[in-house]
Amino acid sequence: MAQNSFYDTALFRLRTCVLSSSFSVPLEVIFSPSEKEILEFDDPRLSSAKSCLSEFGASGLISELEWHRLMSVSELLGLASCLTFGLTLVTPLSQSQSGELDAHQDVLKNSSNPPGDSHFNAMIKDKESPIRSCHFVYIVALVFGTIIQFSDESEFVVDMSKTSLIHVPKDLPPKTKVLDLSQNNISELHLSDISFLSGLRVLRLSHNRIQGLDISIFKFNHDLEYLDLSHNQLQKISCHPITTTLKHLDLSFNDFDALPICKEFGNLTQLNFLGLSATKLQQLDLLPIAHLHLSCILLDLEDYMKEDKKESLQILNTKKLHLVFHPNSFFSVQVNISANSLGCLQLTNIKLNDYNCQVLLKFLSGLTGGPTLLNFTLNHMETTWKCLVKVFQFLWPKPVEYLNIYNLTIVESIDEEVFTYYKTTLKALKIEHITNKVFIFSQTALYTVFSEMNILMLTISDTRFIHMLCPQEPSTFKFLNFTQNSFTDSVFQNCDTLARLETLILQKNELKDLFKTSLMTKDMLSLETLDVSWNSLEYDRSNGNCSWVGSIVVLNLSSNALTDSVFRCLPPRIKVLDLHNNRIRSIPKDVTGLETLQELNLASNSLAHLPGCGIFSSLSILIIDYNSVSNPSADFFQSCQKIRSLKAGNNPFQCSCELRDFIQSVGQVSSDVVEGWPESYKCDYPESYKGTPLKDFQVSELSCNTALLIVTIVVPGLVLAVAVTVLCIYLDLPWYLRMVCQWTQTRRRARNVPLEELQRTLQFHAFISYSEHDSAWVKNELIPNLEKEDIRICLHERNFVAGKSIVENIINCIEKSYKSIFVLSPNFVQSEWCHYELYFAHHNLFHEGSNNLILILLEPIPQNTIPDRYHKLRALMAQRTYLEWPKEKSKHGLFWANIRAAFNIKLRLVTENDDVKG
């Protein structure tokens, strides 16, 4: 996690450095103390990196000191080839091709909420060295952006740190190249412990309990380059020849009386880093290595014993000197230390008061007088305000260019001190983390010293200062960083003396009103980069329109409380805008004045839609991950023709037809354009697709193509409709359907006739009622077709009993017949007797609850021709199903089948004489 955070931070700082393109600063200004600690280490495994850089024509862009630190950073990663790979990409960044730096501006997309110092800390300028620091930060970003391992040789690295070992394990792999045994309880080292590790290159034994060391135990480790024995209990060393490949030797924080330097160390011509500790210092101790050119010497003087006689100690040829003193003792070193070609000096654990302040200044006189010392760092410093001002005054005329103070504690009192701002070579002052133990003091006395400094860059972070004064005279500041303080909206209001300021960082303060923030910048005529992230900023339009200075091109408003209205309060020439982690739900469509915007970060908001580029005509980088985007528009890439990077993963995508179109559009652009694809793009809804990568989401063309769906449904429907119409018109399909339905219902009713009804004694299957005008059809068609199937018919001219009345005969025939067939026609309606017969049959139907009526419509009967008194006929025709006599001869067979189906049942028929017939 820490590695990724460092990577993100380095990339974002590179972005701002590239945009500014003309400031060179050392690492102490660019990186925070925690990051700087990483840079303190060295790694001999990267010995080929410098030559690699030279081969690609980029030598000279990075100083020797920066090279040392670059190799130190890579120690955490563990592979020289990583840096070699990174350096091959440095070629386009040569001095003559600096214009190509713009190609690397897309590193802004990796800026989602990086911790530590501001993303914009490196956006500073200096005409002396245009792009050197940019190169260095870029290489660091490359190194930290690569997952480092020994390819398929991971077994060459053995990490057994923090495992409570009391001795070196005997079962180590013989091919081990890197062995970490730090932070254990090992007290002794023997030749047999590591003699069989002939390929060993890195050995870490720090933080153990080793008391004695015989150098001869390393005589078989001919490839050893890195040896760390710091933080042990070593008191003596038995000197013997040691491999000349050694580049890093750390013997610091041990119990040596004298400096542990063997004469054999003089043969370590490749040695870069040397860590030492001693309670006494003597000039002669360093003679064996006087001829070596070292990159860094760490001298632990925590247990240094003050002597009456003041010693002079020349620290040879080193570019960096790090002195560590006792953390709880007042500074009282009685040794005169000087170094040749010293470029960087760091002092740790400095405790001062008004009385011994001069002791430190005398000590620094011999170390800060050389013309090569550019960087001076004080770490863990406790002092009075008066003494601190004296240190500033002492260093002001010195050649030091970069002064860094980390973990500063101010004690006793804070009063106004006279400070003379001589012409100085100092470019940058960085103070990080101040603990102020003075509770009542003059705020003006504290802030005035800093506000009136005539330097280019000032960083005061993590101090909880509540304010900073506006300089009384036109200031030389180009870079101000006040991260993690307690500044309010009143800071720098109506301040017209910061006209040269180019970068202002107010991250993690207590700013609340974006309108007042814009007013703060109106007189900062050169301001290009402003970082006010991690505050509580809001914008209320009722306060009025914002008044930004027109020069701002990079603005960081992330991690505030801003809503959609923020788009109405932006600088007119903004190019890079960071709004991630706010409360934005949508981008107003009527926003204007953002035509120059190139990079926009909207991550971690509540946006429901992927914004187009209608109002962002120059947009090339868009970050919108961790929002509420469910259906991104497929037209995005058409709307945003200039887009080079889109990061829209980790949204609740709704896998639908609309999303399918977006997925297809992603496949049509370069694979480098859509960041995080496909890992960060997964379905969230519906549940059946949840967790499915968008690239694997499939839906049929028919489901999404409305036109195709319409054609698929409508065309078969039309064909079916035409077919039905043809059948109805030419084949009389409805008639056939009705007849089949009637035949089915008739057979069902016949089967469901109650048993007691079947047991009745009947003489006839059917009684036929018809008009005399229709007798020809009845006698020639109906009767022959029924009687040939053994269906017995009752006819009035054949079966009426003489002597009885007509009504009595009608009733008798109906009662003795299983069914009553009525042949309906206009003639039937005109017959009085036919109506009587229908009345009696209808009465019998309701009286017995049977289905004994069969209606045959011989000819159509218009409703208006039926007299009102024949209402029963009307009711029957409306309620009962009737069989219609077809004119076509081809339909007669189905008609007779329907009639016969009504009699498809076994009956006991008897004659008048009660003779049973089967």
Mean pLDDT over residues 203-216, rounded? 94
Q: What is the pLDDT of residue 732?
A: 60
Q: What is the CB neighbour count within 10 angstroms for residue 787? A: 12
Least confident of 384-388, 635-639, 897-901: 897-901
**Over pLDDT 90: what percentage of the chain?**
35
> SS3 letters for 107-119?
HHHHCCCCCCCCC
Position with higher pLDDT, 116 vs 792: 792
**Over pLDDT 70: what percentage of the chain?**
72
Mean pLDDT over residues 91-113, rounded? 34
Mean pLDDT over residues 160-168, rounded? 93
For 844-898, the DSSP string reads HHHHHT---EEEEESS---GGGS-GGGHHHHHHHHHS-EEEPPSSGGGHHHHHHH
Q: What is the pLDDT of residue 75?
A: 36
Least confident of 98-107, 365-374, 389-398, 756-765: 98-107
- pLDDT, tens digit, for every residue of 831-888? 766 766 666 666 665 445 456 778 888 888 877 777 766 666 777 777 666 788 888 8
Q: What is the pLDDT of residue 128?
A: 32
| 110 within 8 A of 488, measured Cβ to Cβ | no
- pLDDT, tens digit, for every residue of 610-634? 888 888 889 999 999 999 998 888 7
| 395 within 8 A of 369, measured Cβ to Cβ | no
Mean pLDDT over residues 695-708, rounded? 68
Q: Is the pLDDT of residue 301 over 80?
A: yes
Q: Is the pLDDT of residue 474 over 50?
A: yes
Q: What is the pLDDT of residue 201?
A: 94
Least confident of 108-112, 192-196, 426-430: 108-112
Q: Quick check: helix, strand or coil at residue 432?
A: strand
Domains and CATH numbers, the chain: 2-144 (no CATH), 755-917 (3.40.50.10140)
Residue the block writes with tokens 């020289």: 80
Mean pLDDT over residues 880-909, rounded? 76
Q: Is 602 exposed, middle or buried (0-12, 13-18, 19+ CB in 10 A)?
A: buried
Q: What is the pLDDT of residue 801?
A: 77
Q: What is the pLDDT of residue 367?
A: 79
- pLDDT, tens digit, for every residue of 333-357? 777 777 777 889 999 999 999 988 9
- pLDDT, tens digit, for every residue of 243-259? 889 999 999 999 998 88
- pLDDT, tens digit, for every residue of 551-599? 999 999 999 999 999 999 999 999 999 999 999 999 998 888 889 999 9
Q: How far apart are CA 500 and CA 476, in angstroms?
A: 6
Q: Is 813 exposed, middle or buried (0-12, 13-18, 19+ CB in 10 A)?
A: buried
Confidence bin at 304 (pLDDT 50/70/90): confident
Q: What is the pLDDT of residue 338?
A: 74
- Which residues are paired to 577 by β-bridges? 555, 600
Mean pLDDT over residues 755-759, rounded? 52
Position with higher pLDDT, 814 vs 458: 458
Q: Is the pLDDT of residue 159 over 50?
A: yes
Average pLDDT, the chain: 77
Q: What is the pLDDT of residue 40?
A: 40
Q: What is the pLDDT of residue 639?
A: 85
Q: What is the pLDDT of residue 11?
A: 44
Q: What is the pLDDT of residue 523?
A: 94
Torsion sign, CA atoms 555, 559, 560, 564: positive
Least confident of 137-146, 267-276, 469-478, 637-646: 137-146
Q: How far apart are CA 604 and CA 625, in angstroms?
A: 7
Position with higher pLDDT, 71 vs 505: 505
Q: How far apart are CA 271 and CA 265, in angstroms?
A: 9
Q: Is the pLDDT of residue 525 over 80?
A: yes
For 253-282, the DSSP string reads SS--SS----GGGGG-TT--EEEEE-SS--
Q: Is the pLDDT of residue 802 over 80?
A: no
Q: Is the pLDDT of residue 687 over 80?
A: yes
Q: Is the pLDDT of residue 133 over 70?
A: no
